[in-house]
Amino acid sequence: MNNKARPVVGIDLGTTNSAVAYIVNGKPKIIPSPQGQEIIPSVVLLDMQGKILVGDAAKASQVAMPDRVVAAVKRKMGSNEPVYMAEQAFSPQEISAMILRELKSYVDNAFGEGEKEAIITVPAYFTDEQRRATKQAGELAGFVVDRIVNEPTAAALAFGLEQLEEDKHILVYDLGGGTFDVSVVEMMSGILEVKASAGNNQLGGEDFDWLLVDWLASKIKKSHGIDPLKDIRAKSLLKEQAEKIKIELSSAEKTAIHLPLVMMKNNHPVGLSTEITRQDFVGLIEGMLTETVDCVRRAIADAKVDVSEIQEILLVGGSTRIPRVRELLTAFLGKEPRCDVNPDEAVALGAAVQAGLKSGELADSGLIITDVAPFSLGTSILGERQGIARNGLFSVIIPRNTTIPVTRTERFYTAMPGQTTVQIDIYQGEHELVKYNHSLGEFLLEDIPANYKDVEPIDITYRYNLNGILEVTAKCVSNDREATLTVHDALARDSKQQFVQSLDKLQALYENAPKEEIDEESEFDLSDFDIEDEEDEAGEASIEDLREEIGMLQGRLAAIMPDSNELQRRKIDKLKRRLEEAKLLENTADIQEIIDETTDLLIDLEMEDEE
């Protein structure tokens, strides 16, 4: 069946703000709202008439109707914790879907009705559940979501598109409203290779705001003997004031605070009049900022580069406007961060670049990006720790910051004589004990020969692809008995019913809300876009994904070529020819086979380089 080529957009779904972008004449551009807004607050309101509002209108209602407003929902993504709005319970992905649905309306306004595909960014340190929840939110909003991209990687793409001929190491420091990430990226003539990532998905501007809220509340407690944090409206008012203070102290050394009415006590108004200096604010957040520098140090060490080799520092996220951030980075890295990259737009623009690479809009740019697995992936084993045999040790199969796509196999053995079944537990994390890591799933390998004389060897293979989908296979070596679990697909099946329920719930919510005519005309110029009708056979999208994976592998081959010896160069040339052949194939199974063979050989070459 043929269909019209669908637009592919890039979305920054942020804790504080969100934006959607597209490639226009070879350059990424934000798609504005009908009112001309390029970035909208990630805030949702269910108003008194039952209508969902997203953006400035919702944010403006936070103090007046705090029980009807939800903000910073990104921090709850991947959890089962319900989010309440007007006493109705929603899942975090349902609230995120409302934000994404608002962005989709801008896309529909620009391109007309029809299917739209989205590349959505997430913090590099998001867990598997958080990534899946983000993908589900996009699908609930009506997008086709085939790719999730790490935010620092997206920012590097936005920068790299303008620096295609540069060879350098760049550090992307991404301090947003709710999360922090840092990535070390090597640029080599249009090839962007992420060398390492580190971060904390529970550290950001929201935490700075709440520290200020506590500071303000302590002043009121001391003066009036009452805790404003026990009053929902007072708490919302102080949160709003904290955001203003944070912004003002980015350009001023001190700021005055005048709040004539925070709450009532014995029918008398309780207010606050004081001032706070930048030094006071820095004193509150210094510990958290120091933690981000520790992450920078770890990422540089994992990337196996020296601090002196970092030529550029990119700042991403609104919280990087805090002057102390620049001071700490300059002191540690010995150079000033760049000032010409908009920290609020970089991620959305980079997501659009990834969308352009996927759709073919940027096929001639020569830009190639490789990414890494942010967490170690492995299994639970019986092993020895401190001289004592114990269960629940974490055996890493794919170490963190391994370039993806990647396939790794490790050999294990049955634990006792006559054992005929082995449970394979799948974890991600960095702790030596699995109970402190993150469980991704489990499955059984059965029909192992009942060997009472010796242990049976079991090969476990982890295959991690560009979309963050992990496939785990366990194979009994003696009889070739296999069992496989595709983590993403298995978990998606479990949540299918929940997804349908969420979809029905959102549709009912929007259908029952009062309709409102929009008179404003979009400021987005459709004449800038070049969207053609193309014949798109069923299954072609998967071939496009495989060809994009081929491009990634070609980038990795080009990256190791300069440091290779003559024998390795001949192997690389052979792999390059094999990949070029794969590009001409139409059968996905044949393409996948070549990709798998090339990935395995490439890993061997990279490991030779490390030795």
Contact 13, 54 (CB under 8 A): no
Q: Is 536 an annotated catalytic residue?
A: no
Catalytic pick from 94, 146, 174, 345? 174
Catalytic residue among 29, 59, 74, 239: 74
What is the Cα–Cα distance from 535 to 354, expressed in whole angstroms? 22
Cα 185 to Cα 159: distance, rounded to the nearest angstrom: 11
CA proximity to 506, closest of 95, 135, 48: 95
For residues 472 and 450, give the distance between their C-alpha atoms in angstroms, rounded to a whole number: 24
| All residues at 6 or more sequence positions from 21 whose CB lies less than 8 Å from its CB, including other chains | 9, 10, 11, 12, 28, 29, 30, 31, 345, 348, 349, 351, 352, 355
- Tokens representing 359 are 């759709």
Rama region for 267: left / alpha / beta (φ>0; ψ in -120 to 50; rest) = left
- Known active-site residue 168: no
57 close to 110: Cβ distance less than 8 angstroms: no
Rg, the chain, Cα only: 26
User: Are 56 and 45 within 8 A, CB to CB?
Assistant: no
- Asked whether the CA dihedral 387, 389, 391, 395 is positive or negative, the reply is positive
Residue 225's φ and ψ, nearest 5 degrees, are: 65, 30
Structure tokens given for 435: 């109970």
Residue 564 burial (C-beta neighbours within 10 Å; 0-12, 13-18, 19+): middle
Query: Is 151 assigned a catalytic role?
Result: yes
Q: Which of 117, 128, 139, 151 is catalytic?
A: 151
Helix axes 92-111, 496-512, angle to 10 degrees: 60
How far apart CA 391 and CA 231 sit, in angstroms, is: 48
Length of the chain: 611
**What is the full DSSP assignment across 467-480?**
TS-EEEEEEETTT-
Q: Is 193 a catalytic residue?
A: no
**Residues assigned a catalytic role:** 12, 74, 151, 174
